[in-house]
Amino acid sequence: MTKLIDRFLRYIKVDTQANPNSGAHPTSPGQRMLSHYLADELRQIGMENVRTSDQAYLYAELSATPGLENVPALGLIAHVDTSPDASGSNVRASVVEYEGGEIPLGDSGRILSPDEFPSLRRLVGHRLIVTDGTTLLGADNKAGVAEIIQAMDTIISKGIPHGKLCVAFTTDEELGYGADFFDVENFGAKYAYTIDGGAVGEIQYANFNAAQARIKIVGKSIHTGSAKGIMKNASCIACEFESMLPPDETPQTTEDREGFYHLSSMKSGVGEGQMVYLLRDFDRAMLEERKQFIYSIADTLNQKYGDGTVLVDIEDQYFNMEEIIAQHPILIKLAEKAIYDVGYIPISWPVRGGTDGATLSYKGLPCPNLGTGGYNPHGVYEFASLNEMEIAVDIILNIIDSLAKGITE
Ligand SMILES: [Zn+2]
């Protein structure tokens, strides 16, 4: 059987950097190349019904071992694209037996230092895969891709009993499209995990509820010399609007489970102004309260400056998957047991953003996220622990094994 590291080193050679300026899906040709390459590999190891979509999402299945047809179908998902934030072209990785201290990254003059990246301290004695300091590594998310394929290959070649398994590799996850084109029904799984987190042992299943408020301010422009009692300066009203929001509920003043209002952009003259706010809260009811508060500020300003001065348009963006996952506690139970069984302690914390798993959960595929053993994503300091990547494979195998043995909700 091919080794995990060999798979991973092959995948990161393909440049799959997502391109936000492309109108096409996938947004870069390398993603389609890698998807097709992986499709061949999945067929070779014995996966069934291997197919790719127009957007180069890759789907495959493995039917249940005879007698285990009633085990719920489990999905495993990763993405093939890499972040637009750093080059993914000509990745020159090297493997380091890590004995502690600083790691020089090629000839780039850059170093990986435990002072800057304290997680390195836990990884002394591991084999680390690092970059040459000029590109990202692509462990986000090719570590996840390699781990899923390694787990499938292990199951098939060792004849390990299993329920139905479904695998998907998506494109342009880094641009937020990883779930948009996902065909949940065709995928065929009852629930799934994305294998797209950091340290092994992580389970992520809580994320923000999110809405976006667009505020339009209609001012009245008039010559400053004769403006008294007539001019309505949209810029001043915009500032007044912002000043009515709680200053301690912004991204820069909150953490953990605290929500916020974020003024993400503002463009204004005297005659007209526009502001965009991002509203975030882990609690759905609190998010609704935040929306109401935005409306109430608009009402107050409209009373002061006249009807139609401040117009508000609020749109939901995504929701906290915790609500959905809570209906399927088996997903957390399975993951926690799998992690304990490899000698790790499960850790989870709320994600202060959205995840593809959240979107998939609301599309009917409950989908927490598990760690890959990749660190410092989206930049030249990205690295992976090969030891943790191998453990991530064992965690996947443990989950499949527990499901096959009949652990139910
Ligand atoms: Zn990712």
What is the Å distance from ligand 1's center to 42 Cα? 21
Range list of H helices, 248-320 = 284-305
What is the Å distance from ligand 1's center to 337 Cα? 24
Put residue 296 in one of left, alpha, beta given phi > 0 → left and psi -120 to 50 → alpha.
Answer: alpha
- Give pTM, 2 decimals: 0.90
**Exactly one of 173, 174, 322, 401 is catalytic; which is it?**
173
Q: Cβ(293)–Cβ(244) under 8 Å?
A: no
What is the Å distance from ligand 1's center to 239 Cα? 37
pLDDT band at 409 (very low <50, low <70, confident <90, very high): low
Q: What is the pLDDT of residues 215-245, one digit of tens each?
A: 999 999 999 999 999 999 999 999 999 999 9
The backbone torsions φ and ψ at residue 300, rounded to the nearest 5 degrees and listed phi first, read: -60, -45
Pairwise CA distance, residues 220 & 228, whole Å: 12
Span(s) in the chain for CATH 3.30.70.360: 211-317
For 171, 260, 346, the CA distances from 112, given in Å and listed in that order, are: 29, 33, 26
In percent, the amount of the chain with pLDDT more than 90 equals: 95
Q: Which residues of 336-351 are buried (b: 16+ CB within 10 A; e: fewer)?
A: ebbbeebebebebebb
Q: What is the pLDDT of residues 294-323, one digit of tens each?
A: 999 999 999 999 999 999 999 998 899 999
Pairwise CA distance, residues 405 & 306, whole Å: 67
Which amino acid belongs to residue 58? Answer: L
| Token couple for 1 | 């059987």
Please spell the DSSP secondary structure of 386-400, one letter per residue. Answer: HHHHHHHHHHHHHHH
CATH fold of 211-317: Alpha-Beta Plaits (3.30.70)
Q: Is 173 a catalytic residue?
A: yes
Cα-based torsion angle of the residue sequence 135, 141, 147, 149 in order, rounded to the nearest 10 degrees:
-100
Pairwise CA distance, residues 41 & 39, whole Å: 5
Q: Which has the closest alpha carbon to 141: 174, 177, 165?
A: 174
Span(s) in the chain for CATH 3.40.630.10: 4-206+321-404
What is the Å distance from ligand 1's center to 289 Cα? 31
Q: What is the pLDDT of residues 248-287, one digit of tens each?
A: 999 999 999 999 999 999 999 999 999 999 999 999 999 9
**Exactly one of 15, 41, 61, 81 is catalytic; which is it?**
81
What is the Å distance from ligand 1's center to 79 Cα? 7
Pairwise CA distance, residues 150 & 190, whole Å: 22
Residues around the ion ligand 1 (C-beta < 5 A): 140-141, 196
- 4-206+321-404: what CATH class? alpha beta
CA 317 to chain centre: 15
* pLDDT reported for residue 407: 79
